[in-house]
Chains A and B, each alone.
Chain A
Amino acid sequence: MRERAPRIVAFGGGGFSMEAGNRLLDDYVLALTGKARPRVCFLPTASGDADHYVVRFYQHFGSCAEASHLSLFRRERGCRLEPRAHLLEQDLIYVGGGSVISMLGVWRAHGIDATLREAWAAGVVLCGLSAGSLCWFSEGMSAFHGEPAAVAGLGLLPWSNAVHYGGEASRRADYHAALAAGMCTGYAASDGAALHFEGTELAHVVGSRPDARAFRIGAAGDGVVETELAVRFLGEPVLTFVAA
């Protein structure tokens, strides 16, 4: 096993399930594995293992990776994989979006929370979007239930997190209110922005769209300080030809 810092890439939104035809974030996490044909396991738990989501994963990753998925709802049918052994032999674990609360409950019921921590420490790259981003942090802002609420994640990253940031003004206001009320300092990412952590420290911020944005946000005094982070666009520079 190579010696290197554990890695997590947390998407504010994006990847195959949100950006049809835009492979930039998914190609970024595949490249991090350093493998020509990495082993990639999809965890669709937050969607309730929705069939359509699993199918789209295979459509996208089947040609460029040794793709598999782990269903925790239909284990009695078909899938005979032993979850821990299977997850530990992956190069990349990709967590889909949906309900973060339901996902974490199911993970705990199957011991997946402990296995993901183990995989992370062993060098398996962890990534995901939305619920699949919030889960890695100590705390996150879930808007899944209508009313935004703070949720506790797995705590691999000692920060808070907000996703789909910038789309709705209320998300920003809710996150700021939570920080002012004592939530730990953290990071917010818009759709198309990804936060790449080496160990527990933010190392890179990349984007699949030129307008992707990310922020570091924390309480300071009576208020909240929001610092915008530079996002490196992963696409080719766009050349514009103007007819004269």
Chain B
Amino acid sequence: MPGPTIFAMGGGGFLTEPADAALERYVLDLAAPAEPRICFLPTASGDPQGAIVRFHAAFDPLPCRPSALDLFRLHGRHLDLRAHLLEQHIVYVGGGSMRNLLAIWHEHALDRILPEAWERGVALCGLSAGSMCWFRHGITKSGGPPELVPGLGLLPASNSVHWSAEPDRRAAYVAAVAGGLEPGWGVDDGAGLRFAGTKLVEAVSARRESGAYRVEHRDGSAAAEPIPVRQLGAPNSGVHVPPPEVVELRELRAARRGR
């Protein structure tokens, strides 16, 4: 088994953008087996069936053994949650309400089971609420306006997501760090941070324009500095050129959106 691993994405992935497929492949590579068991936890969005369908659509064709754990519909499954999660190689947490995610996990004891799984080498990953939950603090919009909430605290840092896409969340995060919150990272949709134990190993991105930012307290305010990001699909190169059919598809989509 590999050591404790977390991969925290700012957004995107199979739930929003097919062009982020490189993130799915990166997630599967977090685990050693050729066909890892990967369990999707859509808790933060209330376990909608649509998210589970999209998860299977994204992962079923890939070399893995995917399943979804729907905490709202355990009816008659007689499932031992701890045993089920500990036998996974990867746990993938979807986005939604971070406040609800942690409240529901607490009721089902996943706030104790998932740290145990992490220590035993189950790779934990997720996006949005499913990213911030691994840190000491995140900036949630679970209640409407952005606000600071505690996460599980496996990583001794703070985290905010949808960095470029949501200026209000970004501003709340920068203000919190300026006000004394522990330093951390702001991450764009389509990008992610990989940690071995509690140490950042690398930042990666499936989109050319997506980045990650180190946010630290400095002289009474907060400074956000971009960190190096490896573009997925073009190993060890700073520039990712998508294949022609992807470019064509993106142009087609943009035209449909009237841009």
CB distance from B42 to the nearest CB of A (A): 9
Q: Is A146 a contact of B79 with CB atoms below 8 Å?
A: yes
A47 contacts the other chain (CB 8 A): yes
Q: Is B107 a contact of A76 with CB atoms below 8 Å?
A: no
Q: Given A102-B104, A106-B103, A147-B78, A76–B141 Cβ distance below 8 Å?
A: yes
Q: Is B45 a contact of A108 with CB atoms below 8 Å?
A: no
Q: A-B contact count, CB below 8 Å? A: 76
Q: Which of A49, A76, A80 has the most CB of B within 10 A?
A: A76
Main secondary structure of the interface of B (DSSP, over half): loop
CA distance A36 to B106 in the complex (A): 42
Show 24 residue pairs from A and B whose CB-CB distance is below 8 angstroms, ordered by the A residue.
A47-B72, A48-B45, A48-B48, A50-B46, A51-B48, A72-B97, A72-B100, A73-B44, A73-B96, A73-B97, A76-B141, A76-B144, A99-B71, A99-B74, A101-B107, A105-B103, A105-B104, A105-B106, A109-B103, A110-B99, A110-B143, A144-B75, A145-B74, A146-B74
A104 contacts the other chain (CB 8 A): yes
Closest-by-CB residue of B relative to A99 is B72
CA distance A129 to B143 in the complex (A): 26
Task: List which A19-67 residues lie within 8 A (CB) of chain B.
Answer: 46-51
Main secondary structure of the interface of A (DSSP, over half): loop
Q: Is A108 a contact of B48 with CB atoms below 8 Å?
A: no
Q: Is B78 a contact of A102 with CB atoms below 8 Å?
A: no
Closest-by-CB residue of B relative to A79 is B144
Q: Given A72-B97, A75-B144, A47–B107 Cβ distance below 8 Å?
A: no
CA distance A55 to B161 in the complex (A): 31
A218 contacts the other chain (CB 8 A): no
A-B contact sample (15 more), CB < 8 A, given A48-B45, A99-B74, A146-B76: A47-B72, A72-B97, A73-B45, A74-B97, A75-B97, A75-B142, A75-B144, A80-B144, A99-B72, A105-B103, A108-B103, A110-B143, A145-B75, A146-B74, A146-B77
